[in-house]
Amino acid sequence: MPSRSSAGMSASSPGSVPSAPASVVWNSVPADSPDLLDRCWPATGLPQGVMGWTTTREVGSFGLGSDEPVGEVMARWSALQDALARRGVSRLAAAHQVHGAAVSLHGDGWRGWLRERGVDGHVSVVPGTALAVTIADCTPVLIGHPRGAVAALHAGWRGTAARILDVGLDLLESLGFPSQECEVYLGPAICGACYEVGPEVLEAITGQPASAKGQLDVRAVLAAQAAARGVVRVTSDAACTRCDRTRFFSHRGGDAGRQLGIVAWRLLDPVSSAQ
HEC string of the chain? CCCEEECCCCCCCCCCCCCCCCCCEECCECCCCCCCCCCCCCCCCCCCCEEEEECCHHHCCCCCCCCCCHHHHHHHHHHHHHHHHCCCCCEEEEEECCCCCCEEEECCCCCEEEEEECCCEEEECCCCEEEEEEECCCEEEEEECCCCCEEEEEECHHHHHCCHHHHHHHHHHHCCCCHHHCEEEECCECCHHHCEECHHHHHHHHCCCCCCCEECCHHHHHHHHHHHCCCCEEEEECCECCCCCCCCCCCCCCCCCCEEEEEEECCCCHHHHCC
pLDDT of residue 36: 30
- Residue 236 CB neighbour total at 10 angstroms: 23
pLDDT of residue 43: 60
Residues in the chain: 275
One-letter identity of residue 190: I
pLDDT of residue 42: 59
Q: What is the mean pLDDT of each run of 10 residues along the chain (275 residues)?
A: 39 44 35 41 71 86 86 91 88 96 94 93 96 96 93 98 98 97 94 96 94 96 97 91 92 90 78 43
* 211-216 own/partner pairs: CB under 8 Å, 24+ apart: 214/17, 216/17, 216/157, 216/192
What's the pTM?
0.85
User: How many Å from the N-terminal Cα to the C-terminal Cα in the chain?
Assistant: 22
Q: Please tell me the distance from the alpha carbon of residue 144 to that of residue 260, in angstroms, as a whole number.
A: 17
Q: How far is CA 257 from CA 29, 74, 97, 186, in A?
A: 23, 13, 14, 20
Q: Please tell me the distance from the alpha carbon of residue 8 to that of residue 169, in angstroms, as a whole number.
A: 12
pLDDT of residue 56: 87
Give the dihedral of Cα atoms 129, 135, 137, 138; nearest 10 deg: -60
DSSP strand pairing (183-186 vs 233-236): parallel
The angle subtended at Cα 145 by Cα 143 and Cα 148, nearest 5°, is 110
One-letter identity of residue 109: G
pLDDT of residue 267: 76
Residues 6+ apart with CB under 8 A from 195: 137, 215, 216, 217, 218, 242, 252
**What domains lie within the chain, and their CATH numbers?**
14-29+36-267 (3.60.140.10)
- Residue 9 CB neighbour total at 10 angstroms: 14
